[in-house]
Amino acid sequence: MMKMMFYMFMMILFLPFFNWYFIFFCLFMMFFIFMNIMSFNIYYCMLGGFMGGDLLSLSLIFLSIWIISLMLLASGFIYKNNLFMNEFLIMNMFLLFFLFLSFSTYNLFMYYFYFECSLIPTVFLIFGWGSQPERLISGYYLLFYTLFFSLPLLLGIFYINSLCFSLFYFLICVDYNLYLYMSMYMAFMVKMPMVFVHFWLPKAHVEAPVSGSMILAGVLLKLGGYGIIRVLLFLSDFSLNYFYICLSFLGMVMIGIMTMFQVDMKSLIAYSSVSHMGLVICGLMNLNYFGLVGSLLMMIGHGLCSSGMFCLANIMYERSGSRSLFMNKGSLIFMPSMSMLWFLFIMNNMSSPPSLNFFSEVFIIIGIMSWCSLSFLFLMFSSFISCLYSIYLYSSVNHGFIHSSMNSMSGGLFSEYLLLFMHLIPLNFVFLKLDIFSLFV
C-alpha cells in the first residue's frame, strides 16, 4: 500500500513537468501494475504504517484510479482551451490521493478526516470549472449537508475512543444507544445519499463539469457505502436498521417517479443514482450475505455505468450547448454511431445481463426477499420505474425531430469512443470473475 501512495505522491510532485496525456498513461500504468501485485484478500492485510487493505478497500481504490484517469480523458475541452489546466490536474491528483487514503486507512478517525478532505478538491472542481453561476449554491449545498451531519459522527468517534481506547475497525466493541447509532450512520447516509437528504446531489451534478459529475457518481457516493460497511462491524442492531430499509423502499419509488419528470439530462441521471443508492442501503442494512455482496457489486457497477452516462450527456452538451432533452432530440440522425452506446449504457442502467448491475440487483433482491417477502411490491415498482425512465431518456435523446440549430452530422471523436468503451468493458466483463467478490463476506 505504501508503494501505491509513494507512486501517487511522486506524480503530484512532478505534475507541472508532465503532459496531460502522459499523466493519463501513468494512471493506467499504475492501475495495471498494482492490480497485478496486490492480493485481493478477504482479510485485512498488506499493513504498512497506518494503511492496509482487503477485498472491499482494493475494489474501491482501483475503481477510484480508473474513474479519475477517465476524467482526464473526458475533460479534453479544458486541455484544448487551456482552462487552468495544471490546477485542474492538481485537483484531480489530490482527490485521488485523499480517496486512496480514505479507503486504505484502518482507523475510524483517519477515515473521517480523509472523508472530509476529499470534499475540498470536489468543491474546487465545481466552483472552478462549473459552467453556470448557480455552481456556488450547489457547492454550498454539498458542503453544508455533509458538514452538518458529520459533526455528530465526529463526536461519536471521540466517544467510542474514550470507551474502547482504539479506533481500529476490528477492535471496536461498544454498547450503544439510539443517539450513537444515528450519529454514526447519518453522515454516511447523506453521502450515499439517502432519500430526504439527497437534495445536494442533483444540484452538484447539474452544476459540476463532466469530471466533477464522474467522480461524484463514480466514487464519492461510494464513500458512504464503504463507511456503512465498516461501521456495521460494531453497530449491527437489526431492529434499528428497519427504519433505513423502509425509508429506502419508499424513496426508491418516490425518486423513480420524480426522475420521469426531469427534462435536464444530468438531473435525470443524478436522480436515477439516488434511486440505485436506495437499493444499496437496503442491501447493506439487511446484514446478510447476499445483501452485502450485492451492495459491493452495485457500488462498482453503478460507478462505471453512471459515470459513462454523464460522459454521454456531456458529449451531447458540447454539440448542442444545452442539457435539455427538448434541445437534444434526434441524436439518431445527428450522431448515428453514438446511439448504440446510448442504448448499451441505458440497458446497463436498467440492469440487463451481463452487466454488474444485473448481478448486483439479483443478489440484493434475494437478500431483501429473505428479510421480508412483502418487500417484492416496492422492488417490483422501483425496477419497473427504473425501466420507464431509462426508456424515456433513450427515446427523448435519440428519437424525434432534430433541432434546427444542429444542421450537420457528427460522428464523435476517437477519444470519446475510447472513453465510453473503457466504461463499458469492465462493466460488462467483470462478471467473469464474480467469484472474487463472492468471498467479500
Instruction: Please write the tens of the pLDDT for every residue from 255-282.
Output: 999 999 998 999 999 999 999 999 999 9
Instruction: Note whether 115 and 99 are within 8 A (CB).
Output: no
pLDDT of residue 64: 93
Judged against a pLDDT cut of 80, whether residue 1 lies above it is answered with no
Pairwise pLDDT comparison (391 vs 9), residue with the higher score: 391
pLDDT of residue 337: 83
Pairwise pLDDT comparison (275 vs 2), residue with the higher score: 275
pLDDT of residue 48: 75
H or E element at residue 45: strand 45-48
Q: Name the band, by pLDDT with cuts 50, 70 and 90, for residue 5.
A: confident
Instruction: Note whether 406 and 358 are within 8 A (CB).
Output: no
Judged against a pLDDT cut of 70, whether residue 407 lies above it is answered with no
Percent of the chain with pLDDT over 90: 40
Give the residue-averaged pLDDT of 326-331. Answer: 84
Give the residue-averaged pLDDT of 236-243. Answer: 79
pLDDT of residue 279: 92
Instruction: Please write the tens of the pLDDT for every residue from 71-101.
Output: 988 888 888 888 888 888 888 889 999 999 9
Respond yes or no on whether the N-terminal peptide bond of residue 353 is cis (omega within 30° of 0). Answer: no
Instruction: Please write the tens of the pLDDT for every residue from 102-149.
Output: 999 989 999 999 989 999 999 998 888 887 778 888 888 888 888 899
Q: How far, in Å, are 77, 176, 230, 339, 367 from residue 350 at the CA level?
A: 30, 39, 28, 17, 19
Instruction: Please write the tens of the pLDDT for every residue from 350-360.
Output: 888 889 999 99
Percent of the chain with pLDDT over 70: 98
Instruction: Kindly provide the residue ranges of all beta strands, DSSP E only, lying in 56-177, ordered along the sequence.
Output: none
Q: Shortest CA distance to 314 belongs to which of 64, 72, 66, 74?
A: 74
Judged against a pLDDT cut of 80, whether residue 9 lies above it is answered with no
Q: Residue 74: what residue type?
A: A
Distance separating alpha carbons of residues 15 and 167, to the nearest angstrom: 35
pLDDT of residue 133: 79
Instruction: Please write the tens of the pLDDT for every residue from 39-67.
Output: 787 888 888 778 888 899 999 999 999 99
Judged against a pLDDT cut of 90, whether residue 441 lies above it is answered with no
Concatenated DSSP letters of 214-272: HHIIIIIHHHHHHHHHHHTTT---HHHHHHHHHHHHHHHHHHHHHHTT--BHHHHHHHH
Judged against a pLDDT cut of 90, whether residue 438 lies above it is answered with no
Judged against a pLDDT cut of 70, whether residue 409 lies above it is answered with no
pLDDT of residue 440: 78
Q: Which residues of 227-252 are buried (b: 16+ CB within 10 A; e: fewer)?
A: bbbbbbebbeeeebbeebbebbbebb
Give the residue-averaged pLDDT of 400-409. Answer: 69
Mean residue pLDDT of the chain comes to: 88
pLDDT of residue 349: 92
Judged against a pLDDT cut of 90, whether residue 19 lies above it is answered with no
**Residue given cell 439516488 in the structure block:** 274
Judged against a pLDDT cut of 80, whether residue 404 lies above it is answered with no
Report the sign of the C-alpha dihedral through residues 88, 94, 99, 104, in that order: positive
Give the residue-averaged pLDDT of 418-423. Answer: 92
User: Which residues does 160 contact at the CB level (< 8 Å), separation at least 6?
Assistant: 108, 167, 172, 174, 180
